[in-house]
């Protein structure tokens, strides 16, 4: 468990030095409007293949540590290849996109197995305190790495993206990110793995999907994907807007990134108390509405001040959205089916993010105005937030998980949403009533159908 905290710090350093600046690096390489969209959305879409591969491996050979260690080491190698090809002068936006896709496949695949592994490794009575401590270390380390990387770029890179040359700063931070991730792989290789009973197989998952609760879970995932589609109409273009249109320096861009990280970290506990008091079904529509307002400060912005306001609003809104959405996922699923559910969420969200980014690229090509693209995203998100209460009426689930039971881990950092969280997926055996394939499970499904009616 102590090694797990240190490993989390190494992972956070990798994120702060590497993934945070992928899009800025693409702009430095001369990425087109379409390539700007693809460098953000295509890796997230293809990265969803990683959890599917990971689940398949765990279903056939239930050992999680080798899967996590190998994928972590591959992630480090991808970052080194990215830096090496840049040093050789062969890195182009297309190559950066391809390497980012491989990076995300390794990341999402290892995250799936890691969440199950550490969900079993940490004793139940210590989970809340342990993961809160680990996430606190991750938040602080990520912010520190982002700041140091921004200072290195400010020092080593040209002051404007339109200047020729440059790249030394990006190569330095990529190498540092690779070394941090290699350290993660070494620490994970030394960590013990408790016995693993496996994940729900295809048949058991299919039985769950035929239940009323399974149907409700799919509706929730589909709605969440629609929100991601509306969001990613604008999401890939916030960084180009800041660096190219507003001409922010790398240091100012770093401050904007830290603003969303800080806001998310500050407001996450407060959202947890609101979810505890009022339930995720009451909180989710409000959080979705707040995410719809995020692009408005950018539409009005002509400098760093409103950008910081928009970033802080983004951190606050996405903290509430993610927490309430994951609470609803727990309400709508059983423990043994949650790993397939999270994998399905990755597929749904990745496809929606890619579609949204491509729609945004088409709109930007037609209007030549990022502010128009941001306004279109506001309209799409606003419409979905108004539909959210009607979706929640049809969701099932009697138990309402409290904040202490909703264990989250940080899985990435996006310049427009801050630190991205996913739930820790436990894989312990449940009572027979939780298995929809048993007589008790079928009786429970009938009871749920009566409640719904």
pLDDT (tens digit, 0 to 9) for every residue of the chain, 453 residues total?
889 999 999 999 999 999 889 998 999 898 998 999 999 899 988 988 888 888 778 777 778 888 899 999 999 999 999 999 999 989 999 999 999 999 999 998 888 788 778 877 878 777 667 877 888 888 889 989 999 999 999 888 876 554 556 788 999 999 999 999 999 999 999 988 887 766 655 666 667 666 666 677 788 888 889 999 999 999 999 999 998 899 898 899 999 989 988 888 888 888 888 887 787 888 888 999 999 999 999 999 998 999 999 999 998 999 889 888 887 877 776 666 666 777 777 888 889 999 999 999 999 999 989 999 999 999 999 999 888 877 765 554 445 555 555 666 676 776 666 677 766 665 444 433 444 444 545 555 565 556 555
Which of these, 106, 47, 99, lies nearest to 343 by C-alpha position? 47
pLDDT at 436: 46
Whether residue 100 contacts residue 108, with contact meaning beta carbons closer than 8 Å, is answered with no
- Residues 64, 196 contacting (CB under 8 angstroms): yes
The region, left, alpha or beta by phi > 0 then psi within -120 to 50, assigned to residue 368 is: left
Residue with tokens 């390489």: 29
Cα–Cα dist 337/307, whole Å = 40
CA dihedral 303, 308, 313, 318 (to 10 degrees): 110
In whole angstroms, give the CA distance from residue 18 to residue 450. Answer: 51
The dihedral over CA atoms of 380, 386, 390, 393, expressed in degrees to the nearest 10, equals 120
Bridge partners (DSSP) of residue 421 are 410
Q: What is the pLDDT of residue 390?
A: 76
The rounded distance, in Å, linking the Cα atoms of 158 and 164 is 8
CA distance 39 to 152: 22
Model pLDDT, residue 343: 74
Q: If we measure between CA atoms, which residue out of 391, 232, 254 comes closest to residue 311?
A: 254
Give the residue ranges of DSSP H helices in 157-244: 168-190, 202-209, 212-232, 238-240
Instruction: Find how far residue 441's CA is from the centre of its chain.
Output: 33
Question: Measuring CA to CA, how many Å separate 443 from each of 206, 216, 428, 433?
Answer: 18, 18, 22, 8
Q: Which helix (H) or strand (E) holds 448?
A: helix 439-452
**DSSP secondary structure of 281-306:** HHHHHHHHHHHHTTHHHHHH-SSHHH
The DSSP string of 63-131 is -HHHHHHHHHHHHHHHHHHHHHHHHTT---HHHHHHHHHHHHHHHHHHHHHHHHHHHHHS-GGGHHHHH
The rounded radius of gyration (Å) of the Cα atoms in the chain is 21
Are 405 and 7 a contacting pair, CB within 8 Å? no
Two tokens, residue 277: 């008091």
pLDDT, position 201:
59
Answer yes or no: are the C-beta atoms of 110 and 71 closer than 8 Å. yes
């Amino acid at each position: 468990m102590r090694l797990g905290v240190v490993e989390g710090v190494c992972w956070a350093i990798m994120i702060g030095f590497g993934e945070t600046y992928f899009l800025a690096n693409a702009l430095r390489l001369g990425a087109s409007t379409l390539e700007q969209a693809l460098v953000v959305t295509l890796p997230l879409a293809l990265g969803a293949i990683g959890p599917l591969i990971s689940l398949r491996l765990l279903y056939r050979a239930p050992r999680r540590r080798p899967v996590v260690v190998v994928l972590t080491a591959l992630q480090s190698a991808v970052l080194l290849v990215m830096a090496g090809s840049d040093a050789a002068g062969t890195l182009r936006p297309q190559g950066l996109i391809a390497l980012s896709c491989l990076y995300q496949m390794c990341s999402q695949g290892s995250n799936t197995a890691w969440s199950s592994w550490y969900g079993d490794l940490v004793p139940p009575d210590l989970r809340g305190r342990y993961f809160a401590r680990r996430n606190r270390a991750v938040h602080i380390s990520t912010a520190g790495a982002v700041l140091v990387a921004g200072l290195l770029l400010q020092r080593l890179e040209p002051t404007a993206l339109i200047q020729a040359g440059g790249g030394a700063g990006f190569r330095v931070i990529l190498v540092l990110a690779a070394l941090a991730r290699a350290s993660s792989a070494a620490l994970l290789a030394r960590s013990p793995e408790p016995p693993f009973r496996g994940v729900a197989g295809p048949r058991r998952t299919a039985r769950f999907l035929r239940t009323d609760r399974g149907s409700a879970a799919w509706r929730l995932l589909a709605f969440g994907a629609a929100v991601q589609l509306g969001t990613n109409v604008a999401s890939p273009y916030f960084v180009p807007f800041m660096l190219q249109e507003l001409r922010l320096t790398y240091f100012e861009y770093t401050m904007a990134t830290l603003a969303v990280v800080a806001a998310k970290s500050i407001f996450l506990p407060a959202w947890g108390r609101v979810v505890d008091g009022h339930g995720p079904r009451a909180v989710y529509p409000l959080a979705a509405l707040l995410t719809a307002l995020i692009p408005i400060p950018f539409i009005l912005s002509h400098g760093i001040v409103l950008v910081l306001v928009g970033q802080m609003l983004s951190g606050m809104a996405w903290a509430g959205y993610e927490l309430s959405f994951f609470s609803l996922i727990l309400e709508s699923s059983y423990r043994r089916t949650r790993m397939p559910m999270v994998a399905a969420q990755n597929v749904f969200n990745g496809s929606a993010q890619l579609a949204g980014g491509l729609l945004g690229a088409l709109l930007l090509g037609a209007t030549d105005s990022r502010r128009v693209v941001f306004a279109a995203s506001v309209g799409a998100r606003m419409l979905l937030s108004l539909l959210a209460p009607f979706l929640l009426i049809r969701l099932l689930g009697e138990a309402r998980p409290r904040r202490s039971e909703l264990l989250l881990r940080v899985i990435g950092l996006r310049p427009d949403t801050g630190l991205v969280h996913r739930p820790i997926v436990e894989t312990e055996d449940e009572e027979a009533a939780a298995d929809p394939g048993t007589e008790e499970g079928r009786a429970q499904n009938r009871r749920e159908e009566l409640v719904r009616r």
